[in-house]
Amino acid sequence: QVQLMESGGGLVQAGESLRLSCAASISSFNAMGWYRQAPGKQRELLATITTGGTTNYADSVKGRFTISRGNAKKAVYLQMNSLKPGDTAVYYCVASFQAGAATSAFRDGAATWNYWGQGTQVTVSS
C-alpha cells in the first residue's frame, strides 16, 4: 500500500523557518507537492515538483517556500522561510502518477493527486 508520511511541523514564531519532510513508500510518482489547509479556509496548493526537479509555486509562497526532492525520489521537502501567522495550517504532502500533474494541478485541483499524507500541523505565533 502506498503511503506518504509528513514530518517537521511544529510551533514557531513569526520570521522563523521550518522544513517539512514527506517520506513516500515508492519512488515512481510523476509529481509530488504540498498543500495546506487553515481552519475555515479552502485547501491551497503551494508547490509541486516533477521527477526531473522542475518546480512550480503558488504566488502566495513564491520566494519564501522551496520544494525539493530527495535523491532517491522517495522524499519531498518544503523549506519555509520568513513564516507568518497566516501560514498557520495543516500541511499535506501529495503525489501523482499523472503525466503533467505538477502544472495541471494548479488548474485541475485536488483530483490530480492519487495519494495524500495525513498532514502535519504548522503554527506560527506573532
CA dist 74 and 28 (Å) reads: 8
CA dist 115 and 43 (Å) reads: 15
Pairing of strands 65-69, 31-37: unpaired
pLDDT band at 28 (very low <50, low <70, confident <90, very high): confident
Per-residue pLDDT at 62:
96
CA dist 72 and 23 (Å) reads: 11
Per-residue pLDDT at 94:
97
pLDDT digits (tens, 9 = 90+) for 71-111: 777 899 999 999 999 999 999 999 999 889 999 999 988 88
What is the mean pLDDT of the segment spanning 20-32? 93
pLDDT digits (tens, 9 = 90+) for 79-90: 999 999 999 999
